[in-house]
Amino acid sequence: MQREPEAAMPIAEASLAMFRAMNHQPGIAQALNVIGELARIGGDDDRAKRAYEECLAVCQQTGEALRTCYNLVNLAYVAQHEEDHERALDLVRQALQLSRDTIDTRDIASFLVTFAGSIAVLGQLQRAAQLLGASEIALERMELSINLPTGRRLIVSSPKCASGSTPQPFRLLDGGARNDAGAGGGECVRAR
């Protein structure tokens, strides 16, 4: 699908038509999401946005919280492509708020990476590093890992990091991520 989005699009569109004919809302939502992904991969952000927005409306109408979260983040990707990082942040915040009771830590960690991208573009580099660190630590606790674009790991630790101390864990809070030792700045970020 990702290698040849043009070839997969007619199949996704046919699936959408079939689900619409059956008035099968979960199928409609899934087909719209696939169309959005194919369009985004193919570089058609306008079509992707329309598909994601329609999918989001269907999910909100049916109360499908998990897919609602995913579509909010998908719309955030499109907003990032459009360089509307404030909107991207708002969409990811909505997804994080909704996801607290509906999805697992792995998805939340993934959402934090998207959130960090827009935060960084808006000039909040330390906050972005904290969010990436929180994501990485959450995944490490689950024995998962993410690949940063540089191929390096991000380590977020206390002010004593220069002396080689153990990185301090971060945890997710209402406002995002913070060092368990407290909200006072001074965290050290290094990549390896």
Each residue of 122-165: pLDDT tens digit?
787 887 788 788 778 777 776 554 444 554 444 333 333 333 43
The pTM of the full predicted model, rounded to 2 decimals, is 0.63
pLDDT of residue 113: 79
- Asked whether residue 57 is assigned to any structural domain, the reply reads yes
- Asked whether residue 123 is assigned to any structural domain, the reply reads no
- Asked whether residue 187 is assigned to any structural domain, the reply reads no
Each residue of 120-129: pLDDT tens digit?
777 878 877 8
- Asked whether residue 95 is assigned to any structural domain, the reply reads no
∠ at Cα 176 (175, 181), nearest 5°?
95
Is residue 174 very low, low, confident or very high in pLDDT (cuts 50, 70, 90)? very low
Please give the Cα distance from 105 to 47 (Å, whole number): 30
Structural contact between residues 81 and 69, judged by C-beta atoms closer than 8 angstroms: no
pLDDT of residue 172: 34
Across 25-53, average pLDDT: 94
Please give the Cα distance from 103 to 106 (Å, whole number): 8
- Asked whether residue 162 is assigned to any structural domain, the reply reads no
Compute φ and ψ for 61, nearest 5 degrees: -65, -40
- Asked whether residue 72 is assigned to any structural domain, the reply reads yes
Q: Does the pLDDT of residue 35 top 70, yes or no?
A: yes
Q: Which domain covers residue 48, as residue numbers?
A: 1-82
Please give the Cα distance from 179 to 33 (Å, whole number): 36
Q: State the total domains in the chain.
A: 1
- Asked whether residue 129 is assigned to any structural domain, the reply reads no
Cβ-proximal residues to 26 (8 Å cutoff; 6+ apart), any chain: 62, 64
pLDDT of residue 137: 77
**Domain harbouring 32, CATH code:** 1.25.40.10
Q: Does the pLDDT of residue 99 top 90, yes or no?
A: no
Structural contact between residues 63 and 26, judged by C-beta atoms closer than 8 angstroms: no
Q: What share of the chain is helix, strand, coil (3-state, %, to 5)?
A: 65, 10, 25
Decide which of 34 and 168 is more confident: 34
- Asked whether residue 114 is assigned to any structural domain, the reply reads no
